Amino acid sequence: MCGIFGYIGKKEAVPFIIEGLRKLEYRGYDSSGVATLENNKLFVSKCVGKIANLENLLKQKPIGGQIGVGHTRWATHGKPSSENSHPHEDCQGKIVVVHNGIIENYLELRRELADKGHKFSSATDTEVLAHLIEECYKDNLLKAVAQALCLVRGSYALAVISEHEPDKIIVARHGSPLIIGFGNDECFISSDIPAMLKYTDKIIQLDNEEVGELTIDQFTAFDLDVNKIEKEIELISWDPESAEKGGYAHFMLKEIHEQPNAVRKTIEGRVRAEDHKVHFDELNLTDEEINKVNRVVFTACGTSWHAGLVGEYLFEQFAKIPTEVEYAAEFRYRHPVIDENTLVIAITQSGETADTLGAVWEAKAQHAKVISICNVVGSSIARESHGVVYTNAGPEIGVASTKAFTTQLTVIYLLAIIFGKRKGTISNSEATKLINDLIEIPGKLEQTLYREEEIKKIAQKIYKANNALYLGRGKGFPIALEGALKLKEVSYVHAEGYPAAEMKHGPIALIDKNMPVVILALSGRRYEKILGNIEEVRARGGLVIAIACEGDETIKECADEIIYIPHTSVPLSPILAVVPLQLLAYYIAVKRGCHVDQPRNLAKSVTVE
Ligand code: AGP
């Protein structure tokens, strides 16, 4: 996820753009840049690091002009570097582009353009767009952009300025948001509403496969065939504070709701069901290296460690490779017995967790192959790993990890398919079915989020409880742990996740009418056993909140509260089942008046041991 901001008006563009990029920094902050037009000439300034670095660069070498576009980057293709920063230019330096999204067919387009003589200066997918527009340009910039986008597969929010037509900004959108704002003798473009709210509450939101031409006093929208489209101006009533969160009360809630799109982004450009293809550009593992792997060790902390627990089930089920999960802090100091045939998979949202970084160093010292599953491109753990798979979830601001977790599970699921196919333990047809099941998950996540009001009501019933027990079996057990962690960290309620079968070996002594018990009662071969656990809890007066599959009538006879999730295959059920637990923790915390996004004593990334 990246941030785009643009200005066209009667004042200097750069101050507006810098302020807009600052407000968009949550969308990405590994590099940034600005391009302006002055006296029909283009000027570009860009650098790695935070917006502050760009501001310093502009103080040393100012660029002027009353039209400009800016970008703050969340690297997906090409590491954070000055040459990979946006804006990107065409060969002649007469067209510049800023882009948020992923161009899936950028490699084939790049090859075709290079064959026509185009020279590239970056490793990004976005630069291909600048050269493609140059290739299509004859005498109309908007038509050239529309024509270029007809050749593109993927997602984009795009802004283009050019010396060819120096009085306008061309914008386009498919899959990534782009908003146009209308001030007094000035207009703005932005990736989100908050960044422009200070200047205007009159906006137009581009829809998918729309392009637009913005001048100082006019905006015209078209479809990709350049047929004019009428757009209505909307009035925004948000206050600036709530607007930062896209209208949500907290980043945590926003990021819970971002999960359908986040999982879509994780999958985008990496799977093709028709030929059972799964591919990660940056994995950097040859087939031979995969064949050598005779053991997998997941290592992580916190929520990411829970993702590793699900990974243990998936790798052993799909790839029949002995797999274990280690707390990073334990793994790094216990002299693990691993070797060059062990694959260590570090899971980390931030890519900066000190213990996980230490575990990576220990694994490398023992000559293991190390890959990381990470959400921050170019982070320390990503750089230290032999290969990396990025979750592409976009920045996660809330301390409680939500979309990072479901996108980690998505990556692990795909990795298990890759290993299963390579090891010959799953057939091509099985792989195709597994991929098709995954492709349905974003839509099923959206359906799961429709239960929000029901979950909020349950939270309001149990928010005063000072303890809670979360129980699950099989792949439901890691989700029980994750649900308990969510409740602990945002609401300060003592909650414990436990294997449901272990309840009789101790925790059942805790159960009374004051103990809500959340149970993952998902369909599968352990379902009948779970019903038995529910009866044991009810017999001792515990309040049972069951997470069950839609259509399950049996559960109605034994649970006090039921939260249904859509049917999916058992291996994918954790991705759906965790969402009600995230929402339950969130609404309990809100009801208890806790600081949801920055809970006491916690940090978003634990960069100390
Ligand atoms: C999860 O909600 C917590 N914020 C915490 O457990 C987190 O998962 C853990 O600190 C690991 O962080 P990482 O994924 O960035 O390595």
CA nearest 255: which of 377, 393, 155? 393
Provide the 8-state DSSP code for 460: H
Q: Does residue 410 contact residue 608 with C-beta atoms inside 8 Å?
A: no
350 Cβ below 6 A of ligand 1: yes
Q: DSSP of 145-195, one letter per residue? A: HHHHHTT--B-EEEEEEESSSTT-EEEEEEBS--EEEE-SS-EEEESSSGG
Please tell me what DSSP assigns to residue 500: G
Interatomic CA distance for residues 368 and 289, integer angstroms = 11
Residues 227 and 355 in one domain: no
List Cβ neighbours of 120 (8 Å cut-off, separation of 6 or more). Answer: 110, 113, 114, 127, 128, 131
Tokens found for residue 51? 């917006």
Domain end (from 426, 459, 484): 426
303 C-alpha to ligand 1 centroid (Å): 5
Whether residue 262 is found in the same domain as residue 335:
yes
598 Cβ closer than 6 Å to some ligand 1 atom: no
Q: How far apart are the first and last CA of the chain?
A: 30
| Strands, sheet with 156-162, edge to edge from the N-terminal-most edge strand | 88-89, 95-100, 156-162, 169-174, 210-214, 219-223, 228-229
Q: CA nearest 510: which of 533, 556, 555, 542?
A: 542
What φ, ψ does residue 99 adopt, rounded to 5°? -145, 135
Q: What is the DSSP letter of 6?
A: E
User: Do 511 and 481 belong together in one domain?
Assistant: yes
SS3 of residue 74 by DSSP: coil
Is residue 228 located within the same domain as residue 263?
A: no
Q: What is the DSSP letter of 567?
A: -
Instruction: Establish whether residue 301 lines the binding site of ligand 1, counting it when its CB lies within 6 angstroms of any ligand atom.
Output: yes
Predicted local confidence at residue 569, as pLDDT:
92
Indicate if 210 and 225 belong to the same structural domain. Answer: yes
Contacts of 62 (CB under 8 A, 6+ apart): 14
463 and 556 part of one domain = yes
Question: CA 567 to CA 586: how far, in whole Å?
Answer: 24
Q: Is residue 190 located within the same domain as residue 237?
A: yes
**pLDDT on residue 366:** 96
- Positions in the chain short of pLDDT 50: none
Among the candidates 206, 226, 241, a domain finishes at 241
For residue 415, being part of any structural domain is answered with yes
Q: Which residues pair with 70 in a beta bridge?
A: 5, 34
In this prediction, residue 21 carries a pLDDT of: 95
Residue count of the chain, please give it: 609
Distance CA 285, CA 396 (A): 27
**Residue whose C-alpha is closest to residue 449's, from 582, 305, 284, 597:** 582
Q: How far apart are CA 183 and CA 188, in angstroms?
A: 8
Which CATH number belongs to the domain containing residue 68 in this structure? 3.60.20.10
**Does a structural domain hold residue 444?**
no
Rounded to two decimals, the pTM is 0.73
Residues with Cβ < 8 Å from 525, sequence gap 6 or more? none
Question: Is 510 found in the same domain as 461?
Answer: yes
Gap from CA of 323 to ligand 1 centroid (Å) = 21
DSSP state of 29: -
273 and 360 in a single domain? The answer is: yes
Residues marked as catalytic: 2, 604
CATH number of the domain encompassing residue 460: 3.40.50.10490
Say yes or no: CB of residue 356 within 6 Å of ligand 1.
Answer: yes
What is the residue range of 376's domain?
245-426
Number of H helices, E strands in the chain: 20, 27
Closest CA to 344 of 363, 327, 330: 363
- Ligand 1 atom 7, closest CA: 302
Residue 237: CA atoms inside 13 Å, Cβ hemisphere, count?
A: 0
* Mutate-to-test residue for ligand 1 from 250, 298, 301, highest number of ligand atoms within 8 A of CB: 301
Return the pLDDT at 240. Answer: 61
Comparing CA positions, the residue from 348, 444, 398, 402 lying closest to residue 584 is 402
Domain identity same for 219 and 72: yes
State pLDDT tens for residues 33-53.
999 999 999 999 999 988 999
Pocket test for ligand 1, best of 605, 607, 609 (most atoms within 8 A of CB): 605
Residue 416 sits in the same domain as residue 537: no
From the CB of 574, is ligand 1 less than 6 Å away? no
Domains: count for the chain = 3
- Residue 381 domain flag: yes
Return the beta strands (E) in 243-317 as ranges: 271-272, 277-278, 295-300
